[in-house]
Structure 1
Amino acid sequence: MALQSRIQFIEEALWCTGPFELSYTDPDQKWHIRKDMLSLLQDFPNLSPSMDTYVHNDGAIANLLNAHGTVHVSSSSPQVPLTIWLHENYPYAAPIVFVGLPGAAPSPTIHSDHPFVDPSGLTASPYIRTWQFPRCNLKDLVHNLVKIFSRDHPFSYSPTSSPFTHPSAVLKKEALDRLEGMLHYDTMALRSETDKVIEKLLALQQEMDQQVEIVTTIVQGLKRERWELRDRLARLAEGADVLINWLKVHDPKRAIATGDDSIDDAFEGVDEESGLRLQCLAADLSIEDTIYALDKAVDEGAVNFETYIRQVRNLAREQFFHRAMVLKYETSHQFL
Structure 2
Amino acid sequence: MAPSPSPPPPPASGAQYAHQFLNTALSQRGPSALPYAEDVKWLIRNHLVALADAFPSLHPKAALFTHNDGRAAHLLQADGTVPIHHAGATYNLPAVIWLPETYPRSPPLVFLSPTRDMLIKPHHPLVDRSGLVANAPYLRSWVFPSSNLLDLVRSLSHLFGLDPPLFTRSVAAPSPTPPPAHPAPPPAAASPAMRPEAVYAPAPRPYRFPASPQLAARQPPTEDPAEVFKRNAISKLVDTAYADAAALRTAREAEVDSLFAVQAELRGRGEAVNDGVRRITEEKETLERRLQDVVMATDVIEAWVAENRKGAADDTAEAEGAIQPADVLSRQMLECTATDLALEDTIYALDKAVQEGSVPFDGYLRSVRALAREQFFQRVLCTKVNNAQQQAQVARMAARAPQYAS
**So what's the TM-score if we normalise by structure 2?**
0.39
When Rg is computed on C-alpha atoms for both structures, the one with the higher figure is 2
> If each structure's helix is expressed as a fraction of its own residues, which one has the higher value?
1
